[in-house]
Structure 1
């Protein structure tokens, strides 16, 4: 029954005053207003919004004609290409659910995801046809999706065609004038994304149209994006649905500049040639960009959004020299990507020095406009921790940009939704001004001699060393202390150091109980996800099997550690 207002029955919702929220309408609006505006750049390809819209509509129609029904899953093993952008619109316009796959996964994981999602159709970029083909072969006959090959002229090493037809042939089957299928309910699933599995096996995250719509607008507001931005796709499009910038850039008639691989020269060429003014990526993208040795041939400023570990002061300073302003954000697949941001207070913070600004930017920040609640709580009691910047608790969130739940995993959904909030599993402190700062994943806290050690804090300190480009710290079992830190270190090109050198530096730089006792000078590339996240569960497994003897703790170190414990 409709609610009563001042004694009168309120009118019910009607088609005239209520429509299910979805980000899909943004493409139709922009194509109507700016049909000739440049929408997509990819190598020599240039595509207008009228063309982009027609192709997305063709895709939706073709999928429907192939028997795809509302709620069916269409998977995409694609790089950062125009077809991937089209899929983010065309697939849900058919009523189906888009499942973007991580193209760096192995056969076992791809097989699991295709089976778990029960994908009906699978788009495959030929760069990834070998692994994908092996994954399909591992499925039972009734589990195998219809495979569609995507031919990209920018593909560096095309593999064999494994599909029943090509993407362009599929599009030819569609009608750009055919009606598309808006969601019946804004709670309908827009996409299915799998977690990166940095601390556990991947879970299928169900994300709805309402959240996609709200995050689209949230991005525009929190980044103060102007009309007609030029956005460079350095962030993998599959990662958290590309943080919903497929939709945000389209909503304000921007230009999508595609990039298959993060290469410093290519990034700066795009900035100079196409006027790129926005891009996103993990800190490793910044490290890659800083390898650029060419001249600065552009005069405009560029905005970059980064997540994961905090950007160190030297990197922020170098990025500023390139005219790039960095915004630190935080979120998870379960929160549609960047739900929190380190909102910059221009009047108060612009005049600070680089070290002070880096300290502020290291914080993940405050909730965006589409998140109703974010806090740090005691994981045992659920009560908020003191806002002292020191007491560690778990980040919790609540709002319309939190997932529906995990696919076919009610136990995991219930666990993460306990106490009426989404429990992130990330450990943090909250400062007196309300800004949240991550300290670690719950599984990445090292308990050494009874003392809690934040691996993120150790990593942050290590990154201050002028020779260190990257680092990752995890726990190593220790007979005496229970656990001690082990640090993987990647030195800057042309630099190197010994265990003794870095150990001595650490003892001068950080509290003794935090000092790593084992150092591994190895590349981290083999343990990273495609978005640059280090899979720490892999490093923890390596640390358990490690035979390298740890550095010897002196009696002074031993005494200090005992005092810390007491």
Structure 2
């Protein structure tokens, strides 16, 4: 019987037990710790050979897969900033990130060839620093990166960092760039084990992670990277599918995942016999965040999977809250209490802290952590009050210290002087069986300033019609106060959400205000 691994950290695990399973690629290929670190080492040697030095940036435009994970760890061990780009962006948007991050290398994938070529040309990325998985005109094949540069680890080795770009739902994305620590990349920081400890995840405790969302999303990338550092194999999905997720849970005895409410709704929409046909008893921590979850959806998931459904509220910039399934049943609708070391306060418009139960803007802080929006001092300062920062969310804290979110401040509707929170209305309408997705926002009104508009994506097989609009309005009237009711309903084939569930409400709202 093989000796157990005793030291956490990707390269430490690879040194002790190189044959251990690290990743399952979306195509089913199983990749060991030894194979993953060998690829990460080769890419790192290649980036050094290109002239990249500590503090430089590399941009990655790739789908979920071993190549992306290897590129990430190559940067992490060579003191580089790694920017994993949202592959839904168009070429000018990718070019902006290439330029803004001052990228010294660009690693793409043939699936996004047209965007990659146009973006690299617009940003002026040198031909010798362009590499691609597969064939992309003007790009060298990824197999050439580090080829002929010897074996073993690159030098010098020092900890790099992800450079995370905010989603850009209210304008151009901004990079969150943290100072490099100079730490040994083999050493796993106490914050890493502490963060997984919030969810009851410990090193080498038999956990298996399932990644069903794109790795360009901050939390998704963090969960895969930390899982690998703590000895938890990661099963990667390319494009998420509800039944395929259940199959993978059963096949690999998955214990934890990072999911979003949109996925919950689609899992619940599966026929009862399909849901009952898969063994999900291995699940121990199904963690969700990134977008608000309608309380009734959360309750149904808890009834199906049991109290393994854990919620958190957090920010790329640092700090957050968490709540277990058991706690949520006592405090339905809450996103939990602050993490250890995290500060959460609700402030009024003058920056004064509000008492329990009063609604204001939610502010966060994680220990003494600092950040800045890359090349945007004004945005950094606007988001802060003292050493606290805000994402612009509105909520209240109850007398037991539990945070309840109402909505984003920018989404709040003020109609006739009354504050209306769209999320409350969305949480009711989405429960109607003929509704797959819904967005609520304010549109101009001559007398009231704003009135409530709902845009609905009908469920499969349901045709939009005036009759359906009236049915939904009548339904809403049985569940909401009159002043909160939508005054009209429009329909859309699909709402503009990213794969992590985040709704680009601005794209729906702007035409009404044009």
Same fold (TM over 0.5): yes
CA spacing shift, 1:421–1:435, aligned 2, 3 Å: same
| Residues 287-298 of structure 1: pairs in structure 2 closer than 5 A | 287-293=265-271, 294=274, 295-298=276-279
5 Å-filtered alignment, 1:309-324, equals 309-314=292-297, 316-318=299-301, 320-321=303-304
Change (3 A) 1:373 1:322: closer
1:440-488: CA deviation from partner (whole Å, max 9, x where unpaired): 1111110000000011111122233343332111110111110011111
Aligned to 1:194: 165
Is contact 2:211–2:237 with CA below 8 Å preserved after alignment?
yes
Q: What is the rounded CA distance, in whole Å, between the counterparts of 1:209 and 1:342 in structure 2? A: 31
- Aligned-pair CA distance for 1:523: 3.3
Tell whether the 8 Å contact from 2:78 to 2:154 is kept in structure 1 after alignment.
no
Q: 2:492 aligns with which of 482, 505, 522?
A: 522
Aligned with 1:487 (options 454, 459, 463): 454
Superposed, 1:148-297 pairs within 5 Å as: 148-151=131-134, 160-183=135-158, 190-208=161-179, 213=189, 216-226=192-202, 227-240=205-218, 242=220, 244-293=222-271, 294=274, 295-297=276-278
The SS at the match of 1:440 is strand
- In structure 2, what is the equivalent of residue 502 of structure 1? 472
Give the CA RMSD over aligned residues. 2.6
Please give the alpha-carbon distance, in whole angstroms, between the structure 2 residues aligned to 1:529 and 1:474: 18
C-alpha distance in 1, partners of 2:498/2:281?
32
Q: Cα distance, 1:54 vs. partner?
A: 2.1
Alpha-carbon shift at residue 218 of structure 1 (Å): 3.3
Distance in 1 of aligned mates of 2:128 and 2:387 = 37
1:414-462 Cα deviation digits (max 9, x unpaired): 2223322112211111111111111111111100000000111111222
User: What is the aligned counterpart of 1:304 among 268, 281, 286?
Assistant: 286
Quote how far apart the aligned CAs of 1:361 are. 4.8
Indicate yes or no: 2:506 matched with 1:537. Answer: yes
1:98-128, CA deviations, whole angstroms, 9 ceiling, x for partnerless residues?
0110011122211111111111111112111
For 1:394 and 1:538, how far apart are their aligned partners in 2?
24
Structure 1 stretch displaced more, 413-422 or 81-90? 413-422
Distance, in Å, in 1 between the alignment partners of 2:207 and 2:51 is: 37
- Please say if 1:330 is aligned against 2:308: no
Task: Look up the match of 2:4.
Answer: none
What corresponds to 1:339 in structure 2?
320
- Count of aligned pairs between the two proteins: 492
Q: CA deviation at 1:360?
A: 3.0
Contact 1:30 1:49 in 2 (8 A): yes
TM-score, L = length of structure 1: 0.81
Q: 1:439 to 1:265 in 2, by over 3 A?
A: same
Please give the TM-score of this superposition, normalised by the length of structure 2.
0.88
Secondary structure at the aligned position of 2:213 is classed as coil
Distance 1:409 1:145, change over 3 A: farther
On the 8 A contact 1:489/1:520 being kept in 2, the answer is yes
1:319 Cα deviation from its structure 2 partner? 6.1
Deviations 1:126-152 (A, max 9, x none): 11111222222323466x78211114x
| Structure 2 residue ranges without an equivalent (≥5) | 1-6
Which has the higher Rg, Structure 1 or Structure 2?
1
C-alpha distance after superposition, 1:392-411 (max 9, x if no partner): 21111122585521111112
Name the counterpart of 1:154.
Answer: none
CA 1:208–1:236 in 2, change beyond 3 Å: closer, same or farther? farther
Residue 166 of structure 1 and its aligned partner are, at CA, apart by 1.6
Of the candidates 70, 74, 85, which is equivalent to residue 58 of structure 2?
Answer: 74
1:513 aligned residue (454, 465, 483)? 483
Q: Residue 472 of structure 1: which of 439, 453, 459 is its match?
A: 439
C-alpha distance in 2, partners of 1:361/1:117? Answer: 41
Contact 1:216 1:245 in 2 (8 A): no
Do the aligned residues in 2 keep the contact of 1:364 with 1:438 (CA within 8 Å)?
yes
- Summarize deviations over 1:14-42 as a string: whole Å, max 9, x none: xxxxxxxxxx9821222234322110111
- 1:498 is paired with a residue of what secondary structure? helix
Check the 8 A contact 1:310/1:361 in 2, yes or no: no
Query: 1:139 and 1:179, CA in 2 relative to 1: closer, same or farther beyond 3 A?
Result: closer
SS at match of 1:138: helix
1:68 shift after superposition = 0.9
- Structure 1: how far apart are the matches of 2:483 and 2:490? 19
Q: Does 1:418 align with 2:385?
A: yes
**SS of match in other structure, 1:265:** helix
Q: Per the alignment, do residues 146 and 457 of structure 1 end up closer, same or farther by CA in structure 2, a change over 3 Å counting?
A: same
Residues 176/278 of structure 1: CA separation in 2 closer, same or farther (3 Å cut): farther
SS of 2:511's equivalent? helix
Corresponding residue for residue 554 of structure 1: none
Higher deviation after alignment, 49-58 or 473-482 = 49-58
TM-aligned CA deviation for residue 290 of structure 1: 2.9
Contact 1:376-1:436 within 8 A present in 2 as well = no
